[in-house]
Every structure is written in C-alpha cells, then in structure tokens.
Amino acid sequence: MLCRGRGSEVGSPRSDVREYNERAMRIPLWLKIGWAVWLIFWAPIYWRQYGAQNFLYFCDIGNILIGIGLWLESPLIFSWAACGLLLFQSLYIIDLVGALLTGHHIIGGTEYMFDPNLPLVVRLLSLFHVATPPLLLWAIWRLGYDSRGWKLQTLMTWVVIPINYCWRPQQDVNWARGLFFHEQHAMPGWVYLLGYLIVAPLCIYLPTHLLLQGMFSRRTLRDRASRE
C-alpha cells in the first residue's frame, strides 16, 4: 500500500484539486486549439491540390487522429497513430534532411518538396511530416502507451488498403499497387494486396509496437496500475 503525505489523503479536497489540475494539464489547451486550427487550414488546401483520395494516405488520416487524440487525451489514439506512422515519417525526415544537406534523396519520397511548380503553401503544409514523430512520442510519454494501438492500425489497414487498391488505382495511394508509387507487375495484383495486408502488420506495426512498449514500459505499467 502506498503511503501518502499529510493533507494528500485519497478523497481530500487538496488531492482532488491536484489530480484535476494534473489531468487538465496533460495536453496544453494551446496545442489542442492550434492543431484544430491547422487542420481547418490544411484540409481544404490539400483537397483542392490533391483531391479526396489523398485523405486516405495514412499520414493524412494520422493528422485527423492526432486532432481527435489531443482533445480526448487518448493514449489509445496516439499509440494507434504511432504504430502506423513513426517508421515512414522518420524515413521522410531522413530523406528531406539528406536532400537539404547533400542535394540527393537518400530514400526518395520528398522530391515534391523541391518542385517549384508545386505551390509553396502546399509544400510548407507538408512539413507536418516532420512534426508528427516528435509530437506522437511526446504525447505517448505524457499520456502513456496503449498496447492495443497496433491492432487498430492493422484493422484500419485491412479496410483502407483495399479501397486504395480499387479507387483511383493510378494514384497508388499508400503503395496499394506497388512500392514507391509504381504499380508492380511481378505478381498478380491480388497476391500483392494479400501480401501487403499480412506483411505490413507483422513487419512494421508489430515491431513498432514492441519498440514503443519497451520505451514506455514504465509509463504503461504505472498508468495501467492507476486504472485498476
């Protein structure tokens, strides 16, 4: 049994006020409002530039999940988004920084950020890819890690990727038809699709989950104990 100092007994007015303040300050209000305003500004510009199918990219879905997660202060939503986004957003950052420093794209995928034909405002808005990983890690550190997140990301993949495969296939959203936005022809499409739905959860989401679980194990256990 944990010992509490004088004036901190469970149910005392002081402890109740302190607990309320701690809960209220877990996610700053300015961040919640700021992200909501940014979404309102970002969504119509992206819609006009790229079309509706662009919002089925996992990174764009992640923006909406983060917005919801901020207001709900939900460890589950942040854990869900992190399992699906951390790897690819980190690779995005590496490629972008590498291109800025060396003039060459180490991995690929950020070439459009240097395209003068693309409106500057669109390219600047795309910098959310850089902000997402630290924000997700910070939110999980603040709120705790929920081990169910990778399962929700898997379920979302099983819904979204078949839609990407069938709807405007020429866009190859989320690489639903081939890697690096090039439709593959090495195997039947349905084989590639089935492999995607199996490989992504096992080789990306699960390892990310295990990494996050290890990084935030103390916070996860502590939060779990406080709920019991």
Report DSSP state, residue 187: S
CB count within 10 Å of CB 188 equals: 9
The answer to whether the pTM exceeds 0.85 is: no
Query: What is the rounded distance in angstroms from the CA atom of residue 84 to the CA atom of residue 79?
Result: 9
DSSP assignment of 5-32, as one string? -TT--TT-HHHHHHHHHHHHTSS-HHHH
| pLDDT of res. 123 | 95
Residue ranges of the domains in the chain?
27-227
| pLDDT of res. 2 | 40
Contact 57, 174 (CB under 8 A): yes
Blockwise average pLDDT, block size 10, the chain, 228 residues: 42 50 71 96 95 94 97 96 96 93 88 93 95 96 95 97 93 90 88 96 97 83 51
